[in-house]
Amino acid sequence: MKNCLLDVCIVNFNSSDFIAVNLLALSKLTKNRFRVLVCDSGSSKKDIKKLKDICSQYDNVDLFFRRQERKGSLGHAQALNFLLDRTEAPYGCILDADCVFLRRNWDEILIKRITDKTKIIGTQAPPPKPQDFPLIFGVLFETETFRRLKINFLPAQDDSGSVTKDTGWEVREKFLKSGYQGEVLEMKNTRYFKNGPFAKISACAEYYLNGENRIFASHFGRGSNSFGKAYSNLKIPGLRQLSNYFGWIKDKKRWIRTALDIISRE
C-alpha cells in the first residue's frame, strides 16, 4: 500500500488467535493510513490456515511465510529483520502477536510524542531489565532514524552459542549511543496491580501513559507458550504440565475477551 504513514510489523508463531485481536484493534483504533506486515515463522498447518483466513479479511495486510533458520528468540529476531527491511512508511511499529494497543488514535498519540530527541516510544521492560527505554513488545519509532542506526534484532551470543543479550538488545544501545532517548509506557503487572481491566489475569502486563489511569496497551506475554508461567505446585510432572496448560488456556481466553471488550467500547 502506498502513502501509508505507518507500517506495523508482527511475527506469528502459532499465535493466530492473538493476531485476530491485533488486526481488529488496529483496524478500529488506528487514525492514520497504515499497513501491517505479518511474518509467519514456521507455525503448524492448522495455525497457518487460520492465519490466512484472518489476514484475508483485511486489504492492508501483507502476509509472509518464512521458516527461520533458528527456533525461539533467534528465529523471532530473524523474522523481525526480514520485516523491518520491508518497511517504507515514515513511522514503524513492532508488536508481539499478543501485545495490543487499546486506545483510539493510539498511533496519533504516540507520533505526536516523537521529537528531535525522542525517536521511539513503547512498552516498558519488566525488572530487572532497564526501565528507561522501551522494550520491543510494542513500540513506535521514526523509520529514518531506525534505518540509519542499522538495527539488527539478533540476540548477542558468546563463543559457545549461549544467548548473552536478548532479541532487540541493539535498539536501546544504538539509540542511546547516538544521543537519542526513548519514552516508555508505564508497565503494571496484574500479579500485583488489581485496578486495571485485566486484573483477573494471573499475570500479564498493562501499559499506561505517564500520569494517566486509562489503559493504553496490554501484553499477554505468553503467546503460544503454555509453559511460560507456573499455574500449579503439583509435584507430579505430567499433572503439573496439564494443570499449567489449562491455566494458560483459561488466562488466554479471558485476556482475549477483555481486549475485545475494550476495543468494542473505544
Name the domain count of the chain. 1
Q: Check whether the bond before 128 is cis (ω within 30° of 0).
A: yes
Q: With the CA atoms of 104, 181, 158 and 79 taken in that order, what torsion angle do they form, in degrees rounded to the nearest 10?
A: 30
The three-state DSSP-derived secondary structure of 25-36 is HHHHHCCCCEEE
In a domain, 173, yes or no: yes
In a domain, 205, yes or no: yes
Per-residue confidence at 224, pLDDT binned at 50, 70, 90? Answer: low
Which residues span the domain enclosing 152? Answer: 6-265
Q: In angstroms, rounded to a whole number, what is the distance separating the alpha carbons of residues 257 and 44?
A: 24
pLDDT at 245: 75
Q: What's the rounded mean pLDDT across residues 135-164? A: 90
CATH number, domain containing residue 177: 3.90.550.10
Q: What is the share, in percent, of the chain residues with pLDDT greater than 70?
A: 90
| Angle (nearest 5°) at CA 156 between 150 and 159 | 130
Does the structure show a pLDDT above 90 at 222? no
Per-residue confidence at 241, pLDDT binned at 50, 70, 90? Answer: low
pLDDT at 234: 45
Does the structure show a pLDDT above 90 at 74? no
Q: In angstroms, rounded to a whole number, what is the distance separating the alpha carbons of residues 202 and 247?
A: 9
Does the structure show a pLDDT above 50 at 240? yes
pLDDT at 79: 94
Does the structure show a pLDDT above 80 at 51? yes
Check if the beta carbon of residue 266 is closer than 8 Å to that of residue 29: yes
Per-residue confidence at 136, pLDDT binned at 50, 70, 90? Answer: very high
pTM for the whole structure: 0.92
Cell triple for residue 103? 486506545
Does the structure show a pLDDT above 60 at 264? yes
Q: What's the rounded mean pLDDT across residues 194-220? A: 95
Check if the beta carbon of residue 149 is closer than 8 Å to that of residue 179: no
**What 3-state DSSP class applies to 212?**
coil
pLDDT at 113: 97
Q: In angstroms, rounded to a whole number, what is the distance separating the alpha carbons of residues 30 and 102?
A: 10
Q: What's the rounded mean pLDDT across residues 124-138? A: 93
Of 86, 82, 88, which is closest to residue 66 (Cα–Cα)?
Answer: 82
Does the structure show a pLDDT above 80 at 70? no
Check if the beta carbon of residue 80 is closer than 8 Å to that of residue 12: no
Give every CB contact of residue 135 below 8 A, 6+ residues apart in sequence: 122, 123, 124, 125, 129, 168
Does the structure show a pLDDT above 60 at 230? no
Q: What is the mean pLDDT of the chain?
A: 91
- The single residue listed with the C-alpha cell 477483555 is 258
In a domain, 127, yes or no: yes
- The single residue listed with the C-alpha cell 534484532 is 153
Helical packing angle, 16-29 and 237-265, nearest 10°? 10
In a domain, 217, yes or no: yes
Of 225, 87, 59, 72, which is closest to residue 146 (Cα–Cα)?
Answer: 87
- For residue 154, the 8-state DSSP code is P
In a domain, 1, yes or no: no
pLDDT at 248: 82
Per-residue confidence at 175, pLDDT binned at 50, 70, 90? Answer: very high
Query: Lowest-pLDDT range, 21-30, 150-159, 212-221, 224-233?
Result: 224-233
Q: In angstroms, rounded to a whole number, what is the distance separating the alpha carbons of residues 224 and 222?
A: 6
Q: What's the rounded mean pLDDT across residues 189-207? A: 95
Strand partners, 206: 188, 218
Cell triple for residue 64? 509472509
In a domain, 76, yes or no: yes
